[in-house]
């Protein structure tokens, strides 16, 4: 059985590729999933990509990951900057966590500069567009190897 990586996405990312292409690009979440699956395959990993606009759902998926996933790649979207609950959930997960942002949050409004999730993340990728997800999966392959 290949090790499974959860790729979790927060609110409004279902609109990826459909709105604000100047910030988030023209590719959709389905494109992200396809690219991540391709990279994961190179390393013998499997991926499950999920998106929710609800904080509780994201927390439930993080809890489920405790039994099901070797690692979590997460773009918490706006919850990055607000959610102690998502941070607490990630702190219950023993495996590696990589935080991804499509845009460079440090080049944007001051309220986007703080990330609660970064207090738990083993790595953070920002400003690399959707390629950031593929980079995260690649890094995840190193982190879960032999674990
Ligand atoms: O850059 C990122 O990936 C963000 O996590 C995206 C969040 C934003 O709140 C964070 O500060 C940075 C927003 C996600 C909204 O996604 C959309 C995608 C396409 C069109 C409209 C919204």
Write the DSSP assignment of 31-57 as a string of letters: HHHHHHHHHHHHTTEEEEEEE-S-HHH
Average pLDDT over residues 24-29: 93
φ, ψ for residue 24, nearest 5 deg? -110, 0
Q: Answer whether residue 29 shows pLDDT above 90.
A: yes
Closest atom of ligand 1 relative to the 17 alpha carbon: 19
Residues with a CB atom less than 6 Å from ligand 1: 12-13, 15-16, 19-20, 24, 75, 77-78, 80, 101-103, 105, 112
Predicted local confidence at residue 126, as pLDDT: 98
Question: How many CB atoms lie under 10 A from the CB of residue 133?
Answer: 27
Q: Answer whether residue 51 shows pLDDT above 80.
A: yes
Q: Answer whether residue 20 shows pLDDT above 90.
A: no
CA 107 to each of CA 4, 110, 114, 126, 142: distance values in angstroms, whole numbers, following the listed order? 33, 9, 12, 10, 29
Chain segment 66-98, per-residue pLDDT in tens: 999 999 999 999 999 999 999 999 999 999 999
Nearest to 135 by CA among 28, 39, 8, 23: 39
Judged by average pLDDT, the poorest of 15-24, 70-79, 100-109 is 15-24
CA 91 to each of CA 61, 68, 121, 124: distance values in angstroms, whole numbers, following the listed order? 13, 16, 9, 16
Which residue has the CA at smallest separation from atom 20 of ligand 1?
19
Q: How far apart are CA 85 and CA 136, in angstroms?
A: 23
pTM confidence score? 0.97
């Amino acid at each position: 059985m290949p090790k499974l990586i959860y790729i979790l996405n927060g609110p409004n990312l279902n609109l990826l590729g459909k709105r604000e292409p100047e910030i988030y690009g023209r590719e959709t979440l389905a494109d992200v999933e396809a690219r991540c699956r391709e990279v994961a395959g190179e390393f013998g990993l499997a991926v499950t990509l999920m998106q929710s606009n609800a904080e509780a759902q994201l927390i439930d998926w993080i809890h489920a990951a405790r039994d099901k996933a070797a690692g979590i790649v997460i773009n918490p979207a706006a919850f990055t900057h607000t959610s102690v609950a998502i941070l607490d959930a990630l702190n219950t997960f023993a495996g590696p966590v990589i935080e991804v942002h499509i845009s460079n949050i440090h080049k944007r409004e001051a309220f986007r500069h703080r990330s609660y999730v970064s207090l738990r993340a083993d790595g953070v990728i920002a400003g690399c567009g959707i390629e950031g997800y593929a980079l995260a999966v690649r890094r995840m392959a190193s982190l879960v190897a032999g674990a």
